[in-house]
Amino acid sequence: MDPSIHIPEQLSSSPPPHFVPCPPQQNHNAFPDPNTVSVPSLVENPNPSSNHYLSFSVPKKRRRGRPQRSPASFRVPVVFNGAMNGNNNDLSPYGSSSSSTSVSVNNPSGVRPVPDASDEIIVINKEPKAEALIALSAGFPADSLTEEEIEAGVLPVIGGIEQVNYTLIRNHIIAKWRENVMNWVTKEMFIDYIPQQYHTLLDSAYNYLVSRGYINFGVAPAIKEKIPAESSKPSVIIIGAGLAGLAAARHLMRFGFKVTVLEGRKRAGGRVYTKKMEGGNRVSAAAELGGSVLTGTHGNPLGIVARQLGYTLHKVRDKCPLYSVDGKPVDPDMDMKVETAFNRLLDKASRLREFMGDVSVDVSLGAALETFRQVYGDAVNDEEMNLFNWHLANLEYANAGLLSNLSLAFWDQDDPYDMGGDHCFLPGGNGRLVQALAENVPILYEKTVHTVRYGSDGVQVITGNQVFDGDMALCTVPLGVLKKGSIKFIPELPQRKLDGIKRLGFGLLNKVAMLFPHVFWETDLDTFGRLFDDPSRRGEFFLFYSYATVAGGPLLIALVAGEAAHKFESMPPTDAVTRVLQILKGIYEPKGINVPEPIQTVCTRWGSDPFCFGSYSNVAVGASGDDYDILAESVGDGRLFFAGEATTRRYPATMHGAFVSGLREAANMAHYANVRSLRMKVDRTPSNAHSCASLLTDLFREPDIEFGSFSVIFSQKNVDPKAPAILRVTFGESRKKTHDLSKQDQQHSNKLLFQQLQSHFNQQQQLHVYTMLSRQQVLELREVRGGDEMRVNYLCEKLGVKLVGRKGLGPTADSVIASIKAERGDRKPISPSIALKPGMSKLKAGIMKRKMIRKAKVVNKSHRSIPPPSTNMGGDKLSGEVSIMDRNLPDVPGAGKNPNEVSKQ
Ligand SMILES: Cc1cc2nc3c(=O)[nH]c(=O)nc-3n(C[C@H](O)[C@H](O)[C@H](O)COP(=O)(O)OP(=O)(O)OC[C@H]3O[C@@H](n4cnc5c(N)ncnc54)[C@H](O)[C@@H]3O)c2cc1C
């Protein structure tokens, strides 16, 4: 296994486990009823020495590098079930009692009669905890279902032992593939040791994982082989050959679709662009002008692709010294002090939003931080204030957005889904991944799409005068392009999508890449920063990335974030380079180090690039995570689909987010094609413009009754107590527990580790399940004493209802939903953010997790080990960037004669 892909040791080498049936243990809490919902939570374990805890090595991430200050291990409670009360109920397959009563299928002596799948738990003899954690790193709650799984109908009924068994099998399949990602994992591999009565669950889990691209994805030969030579399925047109488009194309080709990718640029990769820079004396380097750092390698699918290609990732080292305005190193004690104070301010901002409740959705993070700054401003000296501003710039870099535009309420809504693991560089550049992913994908370059027509018969995608007909289309163009309206959609996109496009932010980050004749900076670091005393310039060349270890040559990249990034778009490149050199000279010349002239320089212009108009998305004031979902919705009865980094609420603004969104939509398109080929009605399938799913989401923004974790909608016109109502139960509101834990964890040595781990567990946030009741029953339910737990108990035991995913509600519920919708008419839906109600509010999502800067540690490697740059580099003319080959040579493009010249990427 690639050592740089850091899977905790305990997780990586386990022999194939045996599944054994074992009877469920006696239940001590209200949840094990098979009709109830099993949603785990992270709760305090009263007995830390119990074997419900396991040691899990958790890497640390910071907004910028710091040496690790404490051991990287924390004991994690693995708790099964017990969603609302937090008790560790006995359905757990991880408890010691379970394994002690288990009987190996390989040793039939003493085997009880073959149990029924519905009342027995499969127990994994070996390493079920390790498998659960691997599943967790792949984005699955260790011991429950994701909302996506519920919607996909992986189980007919949510909860109970079947769900427990399903998750065990699912986790096992994921772990099995991750053991060797070069393999194509088949169902047959499991059939021998998963007892027959569980084969339906095996089918369900395996088919789900393969079709959604959670396993068996990538570019390993065994996986490429599965792409059929001839396409047998309908034709699909993909707009854009970035990571989202490429991932989708490969997955669809594997399904047998006829794929055509239309790309406006002359190259693949989009916002991943590794540019080969070179100069005299054979000096060259691979410069990452766009997406650079693989953030979190635990579950990162691009880390897996790199592994399949045999590439070793390099961790970005923590060391990141800061230099003052005068070039002197910042006193490390002061640096530490201000960083700690800054983190405390973010905590305060987090608490502030809790106090503010709904009002905070109209407030920017910048306004909140500015208020605090004014309060504390007098107490700090100039240097401390400059340091504070540096941290603000760092935050603007992480979000590619001005703090004054970021939503205080939701700017960090994706933190719970942080991949976990180190931040890494791929030596030679991410262009190598692009090159591998683009191999054999039919991409037509320089085809800029200006019109997309969609209707019940199919799609027409138009570039210039050329019309491409297809059964379906996938649009992966950046949010900036959608915002600009560069593509005309006929008919116009639904208003809710247009509103989402408008609400979400799309920010800016620029870079100056400089190839020097030799390395003159320290070689034991990958980053260093520089302070500014003018707050409006705080993001100007505030952070330098040294790529000397991984780029194949002496390359430095300076980042330009925040307001400075916008001004930089029109800054003559010669001025930019002069300024950067001044900074570098200010730092190094006092040390007696001569700073040479760069051999070649490239300035990016992502904001004026017509194929993106910015860098990546963020949650602007007024927007929320819901907007990512809205952007992901397909339109035209499953004809036009959307992918890309701005369509994933879990992993927005990242390379891996773009990649997984492509896989997601490929699966979605295959689903629609299947439905159509089976001539089934598609009016209840997910992602339909006004599908059951999105309709329900809208309606529940304004529930008619709310209590605890329950919300209800019904027709106001029909006052009959027997009239039907739709009840929604929200699970995963573990905020109180989270908060308690944040207090509790102070006794542990490493709070950051804890928070990071906790963020993984928080993936279970906001899981919704539904049922239909009469209004009378709703009122009865509301009166039940003993909290939500007792109410769920009452629901399932007394009323005997089943809680289901959105799709499982059935046609009667659909007509109820439709009539409520009709009754509410065209009343403008309340904004997703301001619709948050106390008790449901994401603002209460416990401790605030901070946005982590994309940074990685890089393991020192000799230059000889660095592979040659990929063909993704510089195949086309520079785009969105200005190139200076040698700023003393006037006849070189962009070198001063026409300094504002920006060529396409
Ligand atoms: C400066 C910068 C730094 C970044 N740093 C990181 C980082 O360190 N780590 C990280 O994980 N992520 C980072 N990102 C974000 C990451 O690069 C993106 O999230 C990801 O690459 C987006 O992929 P995508 O497929 O969604 O979009 P894109 O890569 O933009 O792909 C969309 C494609 O559509 C094409 N297109 C656009 N309009 C048309 C049209 N009309 N017709 C035809 N084709 C069209 C584009 O040319 C492009 O190829 C960074 C991005 C930038 C810009």
- Residue by residue, DSSP assigns 184-216 as ---THHHHTTS-GGGHHHHHHHHHHHHHTTSSS
Determine whether the shortest distance from the Cβ of 480 to ligand 1 is under 6 A: no
Query: Residue 240 CA: which ligand 1 atom is closest?
Result: 34
Sequence-distant (≥ 6) Cβ neighbours of residue 439 within 8 angstroms:
219
Give kind and range of the element (H or E) at residue 284: strand 284-288
Q: What is the pLDDT of residue 817?
A: 84
Separation of CA 898 from chain center: 40
Q: What is the pLDDT of residue 720?
A: 84
- Residue 356: burial class (beta carbons within 10 Å; 0-12, 13-18, 19+): middle
What's the CA-to-centroid distance between 644 and ligand 1, angstroms? 8
Determine whether the shortest distance from the Cβ of 645 to ligand 1 is under 6 A: yes
Q: What is the pLDDT of residue 419?
A: 79
**Order of strands across the sheet that contains 472-475:** 443-444, 258-262, 235-239, 472-475, 640-642
What letter does residue 615 receive in the DSSP assignment? S
Torsion over CA of 194, 200, 202 and 207, rounded to 10 degrees? 160
Separation of CA 597 from chain center: 40
Domain at 226-269+430-504+621-677: CATH code: 3.50.50.60
Q: What is the pLDDT of residue 758?
A: 42
Of 501, 243, 410, residue with least CA distance to 766: 410
Beta bridge pairs of residue 276: 286
Determine whether the shortest distance from the Cβ of 244 to ligand 1 is under 6 A: yes
Low pLDDT (below 70) residues in the chain:
1-119, 124-126, 376-379, 679-694, 732-766, 807, 825-905
Instruction: Give the mutation target among 616, 872, 905 for probing the ligand 1 site: most ligand atoms within 8 A of CB.
Output: 616
Task: Name the phi and psi angles at 397, rounded to 5.
Answer: -65, -45
What's the CA-to-centroid distance between 608 and ligand 1, angstroms? 14
What's the alpha-carbon Rg for the chain, to the nearest Å? 27
Determine whether the shortest distance from the Cβ of 271 to ligand 1 is under 6 A: yes
Instruction: Give the mutation target among 452, 606, 611, 647 for probing the ligand 1 site: most ligand atoms within 8 A of CB.
Output: 611
Q: What is the pLDDT of residue 624?
A: 94
Determine whether the shortest distance from the Cβ of 543 to ligand 1 is under 6 A: no
Q: What is the pLDDT of residue 335?
A: 93
How open is the CA angle 533-537-543, to the nearest 5 degrees? 90
Determine whether the shortest distance from the Cβ of 421 to ligand 1 is under 6 A: no
Kindly state the tokens that stand for 733.
Answer: 């509101």
Of 540, 512, 611, 555, residue with least CA distance to 397: 540
Of 512, 439, 437, 522, residue with least CA distance to 287: 512
Give kind and range of the element (H or E) at residue 276: strand 274-278
Q: What is the pLDDT of residue 562?
A: 95
What's the CA-to-centroid distance between 577 and ligand 1, angstroms? 25
Within the chain, all domains assigned CATH 3.50.50.60 are found at 226-269+430-504+621-677
- Give the E-state strand segments of 486-619 in sequence order: 488-490, 505-506, 510-515, 527-530, 540-546, 555-560, 600-604, 617-618
Of 623, 636, 627, residue with least CA distance to 489: 636
Query: Residue 271 CA: which ligand 1 atom is closest?
Result: 29
Of 135, 108, 131, 144, residue with least CA distance to 21: 108
C-beta separation of 227 from 639 below 8 A: no
Domain at 9-221: CATH code: 1.10.10.10
Kindly state the tokens that stand for 572.
Answer: 């003559």
pTM of this structure: 0.75
Sequence-distant (≥ 6) Cβ neighbours of residue 622 within 8 angstroms:
361, 362, 407, 503, 831, 833
Query: Residue 644 CA: which ligand 1 atom is closest?
Result: 26
Q: What is the pLDDT of residue 686?
A: 43
Beta bridge pairs of residue 868: none
C-beta separation of 506 from 296 below 8 A: no
Rounded to an integer, what distance in angstroms lies between the CA atom of residue 701 and that of residue 805? 17
What letter does residue 415 receive in the DSSP assignment? G
Q: What is the pLDDT of residue 124?
A: 60
Largest CA distance in the chain: 87
Determine whether the shortest distance from the Cβ of 606 to ligand 1 is under 6 A: yes
Establish how many alpha carbons lie within 13 A of residue 178's alpha carbon, considering only the half-sphere containing its beta carbon.
Answer: 32
Kindly state the tokens that stand for 11.
Answer: 């997780």
Within the chain, all domains assigned CATH 1.10.10.10 are found at 9-221
**Averaged confidence pLDDT in the chain:** 76
Separation of CA 358 from chain center: 25
C-beta separation of 224 from 182 below 8 A: no
Q: What is the pLDDT of residue 665?
A: 98
What's the CA-to-centroid distance between 283 and ligand 1, angstroms? 28
Determine whether the shortest distance from the Cβ of 629 to ligand 1 is under 6 A: no
State the CATH architecture for 274-424+509-605+861-905: Alpha-Beta Complex (3.90)
SS3 for 647-705, per residue? HCCCCCCCHHHHHHHHHHHHHHHHHHHHHHHCCCCCCCCCCCCCCHHHHHHHHCCCCCE
Q: How many Cβ atoms are within 10 Å of 52's Cβ, its own excluded? A: 20
What's the CA-to-centroid distance between 852 and ligand 1, angstroms? 19
Within the chain, all domains assigned CATH 3.90.660.10 are found at 274-424+509-605+861-905
What's the CA-to-centroid distance between 271 and ligand 1, angstroms? 3
Separation of CA 139 from chain center: 9
pLDDT in tens, 83-102: 333 333 334 444 433 322 22
- Residue 685: burial class (beta carbons within 10 Å; 0-12, 13-18, 19+): buried
Query: Residue 449 CA: which ligand 1 atom is closest?
Result: 42
Query: Residue 659 CA: which ligand 1 atom is closest?
Result: 25
